[in-house]
Amino acid sequence: MPAERYHDAVWHSIPEGARPSDLRLQRAFLHERLAALAPHDDRGTGGHGLRVLDVGCGEGQLAAELARAGGRVLGIDVAEEALRRARERYPGLELQLVPERGPWPLADASFDVVWAGDTIEHVADTASWLSEVRRVLRSGGTLLLSTPAHDRLALLALALWPGRFDRHFDPRSAHLRFYTARTLRRLLEDLRFEDVEVRGAGGLPGARRMLLAAARRAPF
C-alpha cells in the first residue's frame, strides 16, 4: 500500500472530532513555551507574531489555538484525510499536504517555532525528518515536541497488565519508534539542537506517560 493511502487509512479508522488523550498537557506546554518566546499582547496572550509550523497537525485543534493566540501558523500533515477534517473544522487555518519522504515544500529558515505533537514516534527516517525541522527553523529557532514516554518504570507499569502491554506494542500500530528521556535528548543533540530539555508529564512520578521536549536550533 502506498504511504499516502496508508496514512489516510489510519485516519479513516479514527472517529472525526476525537480528542487526543493528552491534549490538555500539550496545550499547557505550548502556551508556557510560547509565552516565554514572544511578547504579550494587550490581552496577556503569548505567541503573538511568531511564525509557527505545526508538523503532523492532524485535525488542527492545536494549530487553530496557536493561531487564535496570535501566532502565524501553518499546519502540515502527510494525510489528506487529516487535512480535510482540519479544513472543515477551521476554514481559515493555513494547511498544507507534505510528502512522507523527501524535503518539505517550505523555505529555509522560515519559522520561529516548530511544534510536533505525538508525531516523531510515527517517523521511519527520524534523522531526515529532524534535518527538515532544522532546515525550516531560523537560526536559534525553537523545536517543541511531545511523544509517549518509555522509561523503565513506564515499561514496568505496562508489563503489569499484559493485555495493555500487547496493545501498546502491537506490530500493526502506527508507532514505529519508542523513546526514553535519555534517547530523545541524545537524538536531538546529535542532530545539532542545543539547550535540549526533556521532561515527563502525565501518569505517576517515575512512570510518566508522555515526554515533552524543547530545543533550540544551533546557529548557522
- 129, 123 in Cβ contact below 8 A? yes
* CA–CA dist 65, 81 (Å, integer): 20
And the C-alpha cell for 166?
500487547
The tens digit of pLDDT for each residue in 85-116 reads: 999 999 999 999 999 888 999 999 999 999 99
Helix (H) or strand (E) run with residue 104 in it: none
| pLDDT tops 70 at residue 123 | yes
User: In terms of pTM, does the model score above 0.75?
Assistant: yes
**What DSSP designation does 15 have?**
P
The tens digit of pLDDT for each residue in 6-35 reads: 788 787 878 887 787 789 999 999 999 998
Q: Residue 181: CA atoms inside 13 Å, Cβ hemisphere, count?
A: 16
Please report, for the chain, the start and end positions of each structural domain, with discontinuous segments joined by +: 3-217
Q: Diameter of the chain by CA atoms?
A: 52
The domain 3-217: what is its CATH number? 3.40.50.150
